[in-house]
Amino acid sequence: MAAAAMPLAELEQWLQARVDQHPAATSLPMLDGYVAAIVAGPVSINPLDWICPLLAIDADAFNHGGTPEFAAISAVALRYNEISQILSTTPRQFEPMHRRKANGGVDPRPWCQGFYAAMRLRLLAWAPMLDASNVKHGLLLPILLHCRDDQGRPLLGPPRNGRETRRAYADIPAAVEALRQYWMPIRYAR
């Protein structure tokens, strides 16, 4: 699979060239967040059901090696395996692919938007974590804080100013691992 995979820089250009086809991710940070949600989420999802919307491709692309679509699929599969391996063996080393702002600060919004796009594939399965009365609801806050709804409004309402809000992205790696641990008994029930 590694030999067939498109390099990540090329994958980002390929995604941006497909914007008119409405892939779930149009950048590497969005793709990375999306894949992280698939790895850490409440249910296993057939790769066709999440990779096709992620890349805006038809399922038939899985059957034809040597194409740009297959190279993109391979790159996504490698990133999935990498995130899964890191979270399984060395979770403290997990680092989301965040963009940098012009001032050098971190822009977590694309990554978080990608994570939320993957959540929306199985939103009912994520429902317990979206319930504000669930003590574990807070695990999603560092992610959802940076997300917008379909109308472009902040998902959690007007943003609050303050150091905690500006640095909430720093809690994302630990939140992803905690989410994975939370869902593991359900996702991998025997």
**Mean pLDDT in each 10-residue stretch from start to end of the chain (190 residues)?**
86 95 96 98 96 97 94 97 96 94 91 97 94 90 89 75 66 95 84
Residue 1: what pLDDT? 65
CB 75 within 8 A of CB 69: no
92: DSSP letter = G
- pLDDT of res. 150: 85
Q: Which secondary structure element, helix H or strand E, spans residue 106, and what is its range?
A: strand 106-107
Domains within the chain, CATH numbers bracketed: 8-187 (1.20.120)
Q: pLDDT at position 167, please?
A: 72
Predicted pLDDT at 97:
95
Residues 58, 28 contacting (CB under 8 angstroms): no
Q: What is the pTM of this model?
A: 0.93
What are the backbone dihedrals phi and psi of residue 120, each rounded to the nearest 5 degrees, phi first?
-65, -20
**What pLDDT does residue 160 have?**
64
Give the CB-side neighbour count of residue 162, counting CA atoms within 13 A. Answer: 7
Identify whether the C-beta of residue 37 lies closer than 8 Å to the C-beta of residue 44.
Answer: no
Give the pLDDT score at 165.
55
